[in-house]
Amino acid sequence: MGRGPVPQPPAPVWAASPPKKKSGWGIFWGILLGLSVLANIVFFLMIIGLMAVVVTGRADMITEKVLAPGPRAQKIAVIRVHGVIDSVSAQDVVEQIKHARKDRHVKALILNVDSPGGTISGSDQIHNEIVKYRSEKARPVVGFMQSLAASGGYYVSVASDEIVAEPTTITGSIGVIMGYLVLQDLLEGKLGIEPVIIKSGQKKDWPSSFHKPSEEELKYFEEKVITPAFERFKKIVTDGRGELSAEDVNQLADGGIFSAEEALSEKLIDEIGYFDDAVSKAKTLAGIDEAQVIEYTRPFSFAGLFGSEAKSIFKLDRNTIYELSTPQVMYLWSIH
């Protein structure tokens, strides 16, 4: 008699294990590990920054780049004034001129200008430092204008002994400009926002973006701000360009621009040429035949990359808002 099928034991049933709950210690060690990784990254960046400082010197130091070989005992230093002139760029130029003043081997400066101008204060600081350099060191300064040396760019150039401009240079624009936005209609008419101003006197909020200027306000700022700055500009040009009388400068100071040819004809510049011509002019004025031409530069530094000046680019703080909303009186050639 045959046997029947052998019964099989039932298959085991696997019950899903309940998820384990993370203990407080697990969370603590996870946070500690994350902080440790972050600290190592910061430490690594600090090491790189330290190495950069060791290799290049102090973060704020000025180094020399040789543009043309020659005897180091006879140097011509090139100072660049490029872009819009503001307090930061003006301070950089002033520091370079002071650096040149301390170097007894520097026999002349070339002020390389490619700028539409900028703030009155910044332009005046650079001009003053050049005049001081010429007076204290009795060494020549040659202004070399590239594509644009207008308004504040011309203001700083006239501090030089002589000015050389490229054939395509635009210069002049002797004058002052001031502008600001009136937001009254936008705020009150479109957005329904009514500003409240509490002031101690009638003129305390002049000029204001919250109301259109009256004739009295416009006349007030013309007398108090525009005219004094304009008169100073004209005096600077008269003093710097010995060939021009005060009356000549009055005729030229209508805010208009000049080509290089026109500027030469009007005696606003001395020569049309290129950089090599400016170097030759500097050698002649310094009474030397040979010179090493150098340019001042600043080495890379983490201080500059992550410092307070760099932070201001990304940070919209109270000072930035103030600068954006406050009218600026400028020696600037501006196209609107």
Give the residue numbers marked as catalytic.
151, 204
Rounded Cα distance between 73 and 60, Å, is 25
**Residue 117 is inside which H or E element, if any?**
strand 117-119
User: Look-up: residue for tokens 């002797």?
Assistant: 174
Rounded Cα distance between 4 and 6, Å, is 6
Our CA angle for 122, 127, 130, nearest 5°, is: 130
Distances (CA, A) of 248 to 150, 185, 216, 256: 18, 44, 31, 14
* Helix, strand, coil shares, percent, the chain, to 5: 45, 20, 35
Distances (CA, A) of 111 to 82, 228, 316: 10, 27, 34
Question: Encoding tokens for residue 180?
Answer: 């600001």
